[in-house]
Amino acid sequence: MTALVTGGTRGIGYAVVEELAELGALVHTCSRNESELNERLQEWSGKGFTVTGSVCDLASHPQREQLSEKVSSVFGGKLNILINNVGTNFAKPTLDYTTEEYSFLMATNLESCYHMSQLAHPLLKASGVGNFVFISSVISLLHTPYGSIYSAAKAAINQITKNLAYNVVFQRFLQSIDGKEFLDGVAKRTPLKRIAEANEVSSLVAFLCLPAASLHHWPNHCC
């Protein structure tokens, strides 16, 4: 299996890269921080994992296209798994965000996931076994005094995921809202400090990409 994990050098993304690579997947990841990316790639190589990486700011439309081209080149025009993990936040009161901060947060947290899904679609379809996975947040369903732009972006991701699950018939599984609530009910507490909890999330993400989690394996009355 081949996988692209966005934002894979820390936190949940890091744990997901390790989980998939340990299971034998060939993984490509990305980060805005070149030195951190190189450190992680060296670390994973030492563990015997097959992980490649690109420096990419996912807030940038051209850089997303370059990342997609790189992934296509690395994996021979095919991809099995896309993990839309990248995310960032500025903890500020709702009325204090600047126009620039709003645009950056929406581009990073929402637009990048939607665009990467569009770019990955032909690669996933070409593989014959394609999976989209989105990392959302429990605050997409709750109010928050700090981080309202982030939570709005995650709420939009919930809806995009449901629509993709309905429209993209070749894929085998997309998490439901319940799955995402569980993911970030745990995940939102883990910027690389609570790596044990990130590992709990990564195990669930890996399961969602396995044949056992396929929609094709669910009874008809569940669909």
Q: Would you kindly state where each structural domain of the chain is located, as residue ranges?
A: 2-222
Q: Rounded to whole angstroms, how far apart are CA atoms 140 and 152?
A: 6
Under DSSP, the state recorded for 81 is: E
Band of pLDDT at residue 183, cut at 50, 70 and 90: very low
- Residues 70-119 have pLDDT tens digits of 999 999 999 999 999 999 999 999 999 999 999 999 999 999 999 999 99
Q: What is the pLDDT of residue 201?
A: 85
Q: How high is the mean pLDDT of the chain?
A: 84
**What is the helix (H) or strand (E) element at residue 155, kind and residue range?**
helix 148-167
Instruction: Output the CA angle 138-139-142, nearest 5 degrees.
Output: 105
| Tokens 């770019």 -> residue | 119
Q: What is the pLDDT of residue 164?
A: 82
Extract the tokens encoding 120: 């990955």
- Asked whether the predicted pLDDT for residue 195 surpasses 70, the reply is no
Amino acid at 45: S
- Asked whether the predicted pLDDT for residue 222 surpasses 50, the reply is no
Q: 2-222 adopts what CATH topology? A: Rossmann fold (3.40.50)
166 is catalytic: no
Closest CA to 115 of 165, 65, 53, 175: 65
| Tokens 């399961």 -> residue | 207
- How many Cβ atoms are within 10 Å of 175's Cβ, its own excluded? 23
Mean pLDDT of 173-200: 44
- Among 14, 114, 150, 166, which one carries the catalytic annotation? 150
Q: What is the pLDDT of residue 139?
A: 83
